[in-house]
Structure 1
């Protein structure tokens, strides 16, 4: 009996975290952001339970970065677009639409705002056709619009650049990325995300 108890404890201590992180790692191959099962603004409770070891580390890291960072929570990108990190309830500026790109975090929705959810894994691109559709949807949403991911860097830069291209504010991917960096210097997509932008707007031309 003692051996069985020890085995279950070892399984809980080591097996649960291993499974949690293995599933998140597997998500970058398949099934993508769906691994978090975000429904509207919230992850499902059973998926949170399954991924609890990962979620505890994730939220602890997010709060630590938020507390220690000197970067402003958000920045204005033009007259009716704001970009930044995930905000706490009391941090929201006056916006009419919130665009949530963080697949892995619950969202706070200010009363009276339109909520658009586009869950993306951290560091992942969107397929070019989906990126264009998302940009069109955001462009048609009530303004001002707040676009954010976890820290307001990679995913935010990719989608905000797509919106600038969709609206014709920027006439090239480089120009769109420059505008985003000028507003929020740390907002820089990775190579895959830049390639998604290039592929999306090469196709529409």
Structure 2
């Protein structure tokens, strides 16, 4: 289930509860939370990751975003942390000695050793202190979406440059299942470590079994691979 569908599932009862709430403050709180959820659901459906205002240069989320969309920011962080708490899956997984894939790093143990370069494929989660001193690139995308094609090009180029400088690369999204996997597949293809994105995905899944890509992520990756193959021939 995509982010938009999850938000609609949560916010529709909130909107109904707001209409039935016995007091004005409660009606406002429930109505505000529902309204924010509907707006974010629309942005996720229309692929508008800049709505939340995350700054690509440093991965920070501005104060106005926290104020305007506070119920979403708080709710999504709680969701990520609770899901992380109950999951037996490691935060990150080594795919090869040069590549790691995983979820949002917010605790010291969430980052691979070796001072990796970090590729952040989220638009809804702020860069945290545990990666503040590491080389960093943000390719914004909502959960269940994928970075745009031009971001794929930038992410692949930057990641390979970091590896040429002797650094491993850690590609992450919220949980290390979709957005980050799609980008890492592209990186592995461009590096020549695999012959196809399907082989790259199989390699990642062999070490991180819960990874999956939805239709949008697969189609975007396929378009990037087709364009990359054509450019390589010219």
Give the TM-score normalised by structure 1: 0.89
Q: Is 1:38 paired with 2:54? A: yes
Match of 1:114 among 122, 125, 135: 135
Q: Which residue of 1 aligns with 2:70?
A: 52
Measure the CA separation in 1 of the matches of 2:95 and 2:227. 25
Answer 1 or 2: higher relative contact order, Cα 8 Å, separation at least 6. 1
Structure 2, unpaired ranges of 5+: 1-22, 230-234
Query: Does the 8 Å contact 2:139/2:151 carry over to 1?
Result: no
Q: Deviations over 1:148-178 (max 9, x none)?
A: 1111111111011111011111111111111
Change (3 A) 1:112 1:105: closer
Q: Which has the higher strand share?
A: 1
Measure the CA separation in 1 of the matches of 2:133 and 2:62. 23
Structure 1, unpaired ranges of 5+: 1-5
Aligned-CA RMSD value: 1.7
Q: Is 1:148 paired with 2:148? A: no
Measure the CA separation in 2 of the matches of 1:110 and 1:29. 29
Deviation beyond 6 Å, 4+ runs, structure 1: none
Report the Cα offset of residue 11 of structure 1: 5.1
- Of stretches 102-111 and 38-47 in structure 1, the one that deviates more from structure 2 is 102-111
Q: Is 1:178 paired with 2:202? A: yes
Q: Which residue of 2 aligns with 1:69?
A: 87
